[in-house]
Amino acid sequence: MNGAIFVKRYDDPDRCVAAAAHHAWLAGLGSGVRLPALVARGARHLVFERLSGRAPGVEDLPRVAAALGRLHAAAHRDELRAARLDRPHTTSTGLVIPGFASPRQAALHHAATAAGIHGPVIDAVLGRPGEPVTFYKDPNIRNYLANRNEVAVIDFDDLTLAPFGYDLAGLLVTASMTYGRLADRSITRCLRAYRLAVAPQLCSLADLKRYAELHHLLTLRYLGRNGYRHPWPTVRPWPDPFLTELN
């Protein structure tokens, strides 16, 4: 960081180009959610406005959930109403957003096998192409900034299509692995805030639980790093839904 800017560097220039395109698309949605301005770019770096704030704590999670919901609602309304989860979608700006299953299927099956979870259970969660579509943008709790009553979204490296609630589940998993088990009232408030922003029918608690297990499998390799101190099975606020489905 230097003064009022933040420089994000990339080893791969294609990743740099993609992150800039993701940022431009998200900024153009008109969601009302704060994003840092992209002020300059090079072949392997992006220069962003540096926003003040801190990583959200547990008390900030409902506001983060609401901001995430506003982004998801705007994306569906303006760009993704005709998208399908099982195929890439080209936006009005020419950005090609990959489908939901294909970018993560191999990694999920590998992690599921290691965890003793049957592959068909994973496929059942991934294989629902007719659902309303929004997007995934790494929902790690560290990719938000909380500042008084405002929540800003940062980090634009990854973007795929996703069902409503998938990123909310990721937010709750990464917060739990960072801070410990979340109280039931915190989960309820986050789900309510998200649903108010999108629509009550677009994110069921049952889906949230299943999506959380996908995030758990994809985050396993980071346990003990990047602030992830608590294994999800020890802080999961409900019974393991995959075990319930297998029984």
DSSP 125-167: HH--TTS-EEEE----GGGEEEETTEEEE---S--EEEETTHH
What integer pLDDT is reported at residue 148 of this predicted model?
Answer: 82
Express each pLDDT in 88-145 by its tens digit: 999 999 999 999 999 998 899 888 888 777 777 788 788 788 899 999 999 999 999 9
Mean pLDDT is lowest, of 81-85, 93-97, 148-152, for 148-152
Spatial separation of the C-alpha atoms in residues 15 and 175, rounded to whole Å: 26
Span 45-50, average pLDDT: 97
Question: Could you tell me the CA-to-CA distances from 69 to 112, 119, 139, 230 in Å, in that order?
Answer: 28, 30, 12, 26
- Mean of all residue pLDDT scores within the chain: 92
What integer pLDDT is reported at residue 21 of this predicted model?
Answer: 97
What integer pLDDT is reported at residue 66 of this predicted model?
Answer: 97
What integer pLDDT is reported at residue 244 of this predicted model?
Answer: 65
What integer pLDDT is reported at residue 141 of this predicted model?
Answer: 96
More confident residue, 37 or 1: 37
pLDDT band at 1 (very low <50, low <70, confident <90, very high): very low
Span 185-194, average pLDDT: 97
Q: What CATH code would you report for 53-246?
A: 3.90.1200
| 231 exposure class (CB count in 10 Å sphere: 0-12, 13-18, 19+) | middle
More confident residue, 247 or 178: 178
Express each pLDDT in 14-35 by its tens digit: 999 999 999 999 999 999 999 9
| Confidence check: pLDDT of 247 > 60 | no
